[in-house]
Amino acid sequence: MYNELAWLHGQPTVNCLFKQQLDDFQVTEILPFSADGHGEHVLVEIEKSGENTQWAAAQLARCLNVSVKQVSYAGLKDRQGITRQWFSVQLPFSKSLNWQKLPASLRVLQAHRHSKKLRRGALSGNQFNICLRQISDKDEAQRRLALIRQFGVPNYFGAQRFGHEGNNLLKAQQMFAGKRIQDREKRGLYLSAARSLLFNQTVSGRIDAGLDKQLIVGDCLMLAGSRSFFVAETITEELNERLANGDIQLSGPLVGDAQLPSQAAALAFESEQLSAYQSWWQGLAKAGLRQERRPLLVRPEQFSWQWLDDCTLQLSFILPSGCYATSVIRELANIQSI
């Protein structure tokens, strides 16, 4: 289903190779706060090379001789790449920090005492450095890069959200059909995948309808950099100007246990997009998820690029927490398998 979603700038004709080397994908987490220097937790920034987050957390627990339940992190990061990620460890003051037992694929960059546990989602964003190789058409890639810089990309949840071959969606479907999932973390993963699919479908429908940059009466408009939103009961010149200036953003639904907050024409449009997924919506509502909103589009910050040669492109940009670099790459080029 991910490959069938609409493109904001038209389906790319450019082809490329991605993740041919470990350092072709690098991401650094950006915390919205600094360690306060005291408390029963230790904030640790670790550089992981070719390892997944859960494994790294387990190795950190083993190294410090604590339960893995005492290790937390803000989010999951790709295994295939070099990622600089924050963890927190609940650790008594009597225990020293000795990193010698960590595997060579994990490197401690910094560690500081902190008074609070690191919570899921507690990031302001992620810095990406990405290398794309064997670009098939430099001129067309250059044109699309300019469009991405100016208008952004659809804020789709990436394919990795849905698991290998969409397995998380299959598990969600089984759960909605009555299968009990005892593991709380897996249950949350399947619910998130289902809700992400519904969001993606709504965004894709809006792009197909040519309404990705246009206000509709009843739209839920999000304040830039905030989860707050308000309903546009009428369309005014002021709202159009604020949208053009990036002060407000169009949004799509993250469905939950109540009526969609959109109104009038926007409500009718979103309801139509979700009409084929009523059983999923009911399952998400039954699970107690709250109605939320997510920006329709995302514009990469500090978006820059460099051609290393005529077919090798180095990208650098920042995305807000919860946004996917793969959604940026998807608008630029088709990733070819070898």
CA distances from 278 to 125, 211, 258, 263 (A): 33, 23, 13, 19
Q: For residue 121, with 0-12 CB atoms within 10 Å meaning exposed, 13-18 middle and 19 or more buried, which class applies?
A: exposed
SS3 265: helix
In single-letter form, the type of residue at position 203 comes to: V
Q: How far apart are CA 6 and CA 4, in angstroms?
A: 7
Residues 6+ away with beta carbon under 8 Å from 152: 8, 297, 298, 299, 300
Whether the Cβ atoms of residue 327 and residue 319 lie closer than 8 Å to each other: no
Active-site residue identified among 24, 78, 212, 219: 78
And the tokens for 97? 């920090």
Residues 6+ away with beta carbon under 8 Å from 184: none
Looking at residue 28, the DSSP 8-state letter turns out to be E
Is 24 a catalytic site residue?
A: no
- Name the CA dihedral angle for 221, 223, 229, 233, rounded to a multiple of 10 degrees: -40
Q: How far apart are CA 317 and CA 305, in angstroms?
A: 9
Sign, CA dihedral 309-17-332-329, equals: negative
And the tokens for 94? 């009597």
Catalytic residues: 78
